[in-house]
């Protein structure tokens, strides 16, 4: 991967001036390259990594395994695009192994996600089976340590 992309992936808040200094080039050259990456669809967006547990206690994440029947001439593309359009869906990945699609879903409660799977995902024509795994704790996300900076309030009784 090119150095500019690596730097942006590591910290998208770096300014063009900072990037230019790090890359030994000009701000204009950096701005032009970023614009080219955006137009080519290489850079899809810029985002912050947020520890949701610190701001929203009613937030649940699940990884859902989907086994599907691919459509002739479309493969997994059609069902993946359909699933990706749901508001609750954060990410969709084609997988190798025992299931076909991994779907990351966000909701306010376990029940919200269970109902989403039961009423919306599992009823899709191509879906053969689902398995839902709820995230209990995040320790690291996109290279950043998320959990572990809080003090454990449990007491040890001896």
Range with lowest mean pLDDT among 29-33, 126-130, 141-145? 141-145
Distance CA(11)–CA(15), nearest Å, equals 10
**Per-residue tokens: 44:** 């899809």
CATH topology assigned to domain 54-137: Alpha-Beta Plaits (3.30.70)
Grouping H, G, I as helix, E, B as strand and the rest as coil, residue 146 is: coil
Distance CA(18)–CA(23), nearest Å, equals 9
The pTM of the full predicted model, rounded to 2 decimals, is 0.80
CATH topology assigned to domain 3-39: Arc Repressor Mutant, subunit A (1.10.10)
Domain locations along the chain = 3-39, 54-137
Residue 25 has pLDDT above 90, yes or no: yes
Distance CA(128)–CA(46), nearest Å, equals 35
**Cα 143 versus chain centre, distance:** 13
């Amino acid at each position: 991967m090119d150095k500019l992309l690596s730097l942006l992936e590591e910290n998208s808040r770096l300014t063009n001036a900072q990037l230019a200094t790090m890359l030994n080039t000009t701000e204009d050259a950096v701005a032009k390259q970023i614009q080219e990456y955006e137009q080519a669809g290489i850079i899809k967006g810029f985002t912050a990594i947020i520890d949701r547990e610190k701001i929203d206690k009613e937030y649940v994440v699940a990884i859902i395994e989907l086994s599907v029947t691919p459509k002739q001439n479309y493969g997994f593309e059609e069902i993946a695009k359909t699933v990706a359009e749901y508001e609750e869906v954060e990410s969709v990945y084609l997988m190798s192994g025992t299931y076909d699609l991994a779907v990351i879903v966000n909701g306010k409660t376990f029940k919200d996600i269970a109902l989403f799977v039961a009423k919306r995902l599992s009823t899709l024509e191509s879906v053969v089976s689902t398995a839902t795994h709820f995230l209990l704790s995040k320790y690291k996300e996109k290279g950043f340590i998320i959990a572990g900076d809080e003090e454990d309030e449990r007491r040890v009784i001896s």
